[in-house]
Amino acid sequence: MLDVLKRLRRSTASGEASVAPPVEYRLVEWTFLKLLGFIYFAAFVSFGVQAQGLIGSGGILPVAGYLGQAAAYFGGSRYWTVPTILWFGASDAAIRAMWIAGAVAAIAIAAGVFTRAALLIAFILYLSIVSGGQDFMSFQWDLLLLEAGFLSIFIGYSRVVVWLFRWLVFRLMFLSGAVKLLSGDQAWRALTALGFHYQTQPLPTPLAWVMSGFPMWFHRWEAAFVFVIELIAPFLIFTTRKLRFVAAFSLIALQVLIFLTGNYAFFNLLSIALCVFLFDDTALRRVLPERLRAFALLAEEVSGRSLMVRRTLAGSLALVLVLLSGSAMILTLFGTLPGTARTAMTLASPFGIANSYGLFAVMTTTRPEIIVEGSDDGANWKPYEFKYKPGNIYRGLPFVAPHQPRLDWQMWFAALGTYRENPWFVNFEARLLQGSPSVLKLLAYNPFPAKPPRFVRAQIYDYRFTDWETRRRTGAVWRRELMGTYLRPISLDDLTSASR
């Protein structure tokens, strides 16, 4: 360790050499792996504290039943179509062991202990969770973590891997802008989308309430800023070093703004971490403390791999991934793809190693919100309160990222459709009627602590932010208006009859 520090001091004291040093990415890779370890840890633990209520035996969508249906439908191809180690056992204990092992692997990645093995284990375990998580693990950042996690297994093999990460950043950002235009959404085309976004997004933060009150001309400039960053900055990634840095700072700035105004789990943190690959070691030396730089170099010195094997494997990997991800990108942009490419994408898609991206292609301009209520007599109704999603109009807005309350998120999507389009919602209602402890733990308040209600129903309201004067006078964050019934009152007898 002391030798490494001495070499760093000598190299710093010697100043700039007459010949530019070769571009290196050891510090870049080391820094990214530390960040990835933290993100993996947040993802595993966030899922873990909700797992039993979401996919456990007493949860909303029990994974054991799902795998049974998948086995009946897919037959021998089920292991490829639904790749998860839960095929070996889908008990509550197995689910718990899976996410805990993933959290341990994440700690090992961050600590630099058995890093390559820990990266492989973390990828397999998170893939298993995504494959078995059904509706609750269907978010783009889950796929982004899988793709980034898979690439990270090969970090250090070749400089080609660095370019694969840059290609991932390009696709993530450019497609996010492109889909907004391709969707034909008038709010984006008129640059008014952000005038609605802050109050209609799934889980706004306190700053979102403030931003929502700004005038529309401000939101138009914001939208123009978003388009410039998402559609132009990504192309700078493949230009000169300085312009690549401009792209990096622009993309990071956008992610910071999104992080401050919305709870998008670990998406923003992962996007920022990926932008580390737009820098090089020379740039990071200016910001990383010397001792951390020494640890990075020490870790590289003690690792030994066959250079030829690593480069061959990295080159082959790059060829496959560029073809797959390029095909996904073409399909998103043009809506068509040759049959061979489509078949290859279909075969690879269960593993999440080459994906298409693009959030908020169509901006929601209103906020329908489902309020779930229970009753013992069918006349007097009491509301259930969720931990984070809007309900009580006086409750403050949360700041919970990188944690993702996945039931709260799914409630947002459910409100945009009907309960028939969201079969899991009826399962959720059934668990409330049964008084499932694991599901009730996902809620902030259970109005029936002694025994479950006889009936449950779901009303749908239109929610809007209050203005400054109303909030100052009443303390209310939201104002709401009843729109109608989302799901009529049901009982366990109704569900039993419907299942016959």
Question: For residue 102, what pLDDT is reported?
Answer: 98
**Residue 230 sits in the same domain as residue 290:** yes
Total domain count for the chain? Answer: 3
**Residue 74 sits in the same domain as residue 49:** yes
Length, in residues, of the chain: 500
**Residue 349 sits in the same domain as residue 384:** no
Domain assignment of residue 4, yes or no: no
Domain assignment of residue 17, yes or no: no
Question: For residue 309, what pLDDT is reported?
Answer: 83
Domain C-terminal end among 330, 364, 398: 364
| Rounded mean pLDDT for each run of 10 residues along the chain, 500 residues in total | 46 46 84 96 98 97 96 94 95 97 97 94 98 95 97 92 96 96 93 96 96 96 96 96 96 96 96 96 83 58 62 89 92 87 91 91 95 94 96 95 97 96 95 96 95 96 96 96 96 71
Residue 207: CB atoms within 10 Å: 16
**Residue 204 sits in the same domain as residue 59:** no
**Residue 390 sits in the same domain as residue 352:** no
**Residue 226 sits in the same domain as residue 356:** yes
- The span from the CA of 482 to the CA of 243, in Å, is 51
Question: For residue 16, what pLDDT is reported?
Answer: 43
**Residue numbers of the domain that contains 296:** 158-364
**Residue 216 sits in the same domain as residue 359:** yes
Question: For residue 500, what pLDDT is reported?
Answer: 47
**Parallel/antiparallel/unpaired status of strands 368-375 and 382-383:** antiparallel
Question: For residue 13, what pLDDT is reported?
Answer: 47
Question: For residue 289, what pLDDT is reported?
Answer: 75
**Residue 335 sits in the same domain as residue 395:** no
**Residue 467 sits in the same domain as residue 418:** yes
Domain assignment of residue 307, yes or no: yes
Under 8 Å CB-to-CB from 446, ≥6 apart: which residues?
384, 440
Question: For residue 56, what pLDDT is reported?
Answer: 97
Domain assignment of residue 1, yes or no: no
Q: Give the rounded distance of the alpha carbon of 133 from its chain centre.
A: 13
**Residue 379 sits in the same domain as residue 340:** no
- The span from the CA of 173 to the CA of 166, in Å, is 11
Domain C-terminal end among 306, 333, 364: 364
Question: For residue 5, what pLDDT is reported?
Answer: 42
Domain assignment of residue 12, yes or no: no
- The span from the CA of 294 to the CA of 284, in Å, is 13
